[in-house]
Amino acid sequence: MYIFVKGYNLAKDRNGRLINIIVRTLRKYIHKYGILFLLLCLFSTMTACESKDILGDDEPEVSQNATEDGTMGSSNDGVNTEADKGAEQSTAPNELEDTVSGQDGEETQMNEADIDREAMMNEYKSILKGIYDNHIFPDGQACDWDGRSDVTQNQFAVYDIDQDTQDELILAYTNSSMAGMIELIYDFDNDTKTANEEFREFPTLTYYDNGIIKADWSHNQGLAGDFWPYTLYQYDKKSDSYVDVGMVDAWDRSLSATDYNGDPFPAESDTDGDGIVYYIMQDGEYKLDHPIDGAEYEQWRDFYIGNAKEVNIPFINLTEENIDNIQ
């Protein structure tokens, strides 16, 4: 056997002289043990070579399996090295990012594909023409138009203000009496192919990039001094509309020591002693019965506005040409 192995190894060196020796040796063994033994040797050699090839093909897969279950690295007799582990850690987040971005791309694509943009623009144009030509809002309410004033001084924008990837129609009807001034946001319902009113307020609004709208009141009750009362609205994805999250008013003692009912300034609530207290009303009812001080008010305000940035809506005038050009 030793001679056979030795002969085989030497044969690999393609040394013709030794091949002859091997052939002679094989003949000797064939004569002695028969053809069966020779076939057994050849089969063993071939099987060994085949196994090596299969292992070579499978190596990446084995490595991958080891990284996936996270257990083979420690139980694989050091085959899975620290370098391998490092490679796992560096590839896993990329795979995750790819997956996430792939989903995002798919979602965005689906949204874009789902929205009937032409129907949306036709609906928005119809609303704008109704106001421009007939001076009527989509809900049937007449615009506060005196028959003379320039309707093109009102403004509109097609803009995704609530960041739901779909453009809204924002209309600022301001060329009217104060009572008739209004700002409206319409959103397009792709299922019904109609526009829905998403928001309406007096047009002294500040839009923020986090879905908050600060709506300054058209009037001041008179006790707040430099502070102007307002209502905060927050975009609610579920209802696809803006929800009133609270209105705020204040009382500046330097303007009046008593309110309209004759009640005195709530000095006990003015802990910082600056002569101003605030009222946050979250149930929609105007009621000055729970004064709070500046720190608490600012905490509430910052919760909603914080570092959010103001959004400048790209308003354009309500002209026939501008209406026709939206797309």
**Smallest distance from the beta carbon of 230 to Ca ion, in angstroms?**
18
φ and ψ of 92, to 5 deg:
-55, -50
β-strands 241-252, 230-236: how paired? antiparallel
Task: Pick one of 270, 279, 292, 318: the residue that binds Ca ion (CB under 5 A).
Answer: 270
274 binding Ca ion? (CB under 5 A): yes
**Smallest distance from the beta carbon of 77 to Ca ion, in angstroms?**
58
272 binding Ca ion? (CB under 5 A): yes
Q: Would you give the distance in Å from CA 88 to the centre of its chain?
A: 28
**154 and 318 in contact (C-beta within 8 Å)?**
yes
**Smallest distance from the beta carbon of 273 to Ca ion, in angstroms?**
7
Give the containing element (helix H, strand E) for 302.
Answer: helix 294-304
**Smallest distance from the beta carbon of 112 to Ca ion, in angstroms?**
13
Strand, helix or coil at 170?
strand
**Smallest distance from the beta carbon of 312 to Ca ion, in angstroms?**
16
Q: Would you give the distance in Å from CA 212 to the centre of its chain?
A: 16
**Smallest distance from the beta carbon of 270 to Ca ion, in angstroms?**
4
**244 and 284 in contact (C-beta within 8 Å)?**
yes
**283 and 243 in contact (C-beta within 8 Å)?**
no
**85 and 63 in contact (C-beta within 8 Å)?**
no
The residue range among 110-118, 159-167, 224-232, 304-312 that interacts with Ca ion, by the rule CB under 5 A, is 159-167
**85 and 68 in contact (C-beta within 8 Å)?**
no
Of residues 132 and 249, the one with the C-beta less far from Ca ion: 249
Each residue 280-309 as x (binds Ca ion by CB under 5 A) or -, in order, gives: -------------xx---------------
Of residues 154 and 166, the one with the C-beta less far from Ca ion: 166
Please list every residue from 160 through 179 that binds Ca ion, using CB under 5 A: 160, 162, 164, 166, 168
Of residues 24 and 237, the one with the C-beta less far from Ca ion: 237
**Smallest distance from the beta carbon of 126 to Ca ion, in angstroms?**
19
Place of tokens 């001041």: 220
The residue range among 21-29, 73-81, 87-95, 153-161 that interacts with Ca ion, by the rule CB under 5 A, is 153-161
The residue range among 139-147, 155-163, 176-184, 193-201 that interacts with Ca ion, by the rule CB under 5 A, is 155-163
Each residue 10-49 as x (binds Ca ion by CB under 5 A) or -, in order, gives: ----------------------------------------
Of 152, 124, 150, the C-alpha closest to 317 is 152
201 binding Ca ion? (CB under 5 A): no
- CA of 311: how far to CAs of 200, 212, 315, in Å? 17, 10, 12
Place of tokens 């050009």: 325
Query: CA 238, CA 131: separation in Å to the nearest integer?
Result: 29
**Smallest distance from the beta carbon of 293 to Ca ion, in angstroms?**
4
Of residues 66 and 277, the one with the C-beta less far from Ca ion: 277
**175 and 132 in contact (C-beta within 8 Å)?**
no
Structural tokens at position 252 = 């500046």
Q: Which residues bind Ca ion (CB under 5 A)?
A: 160, 162, 164, 166, 168, 270, 272, 274, 276, 293-294
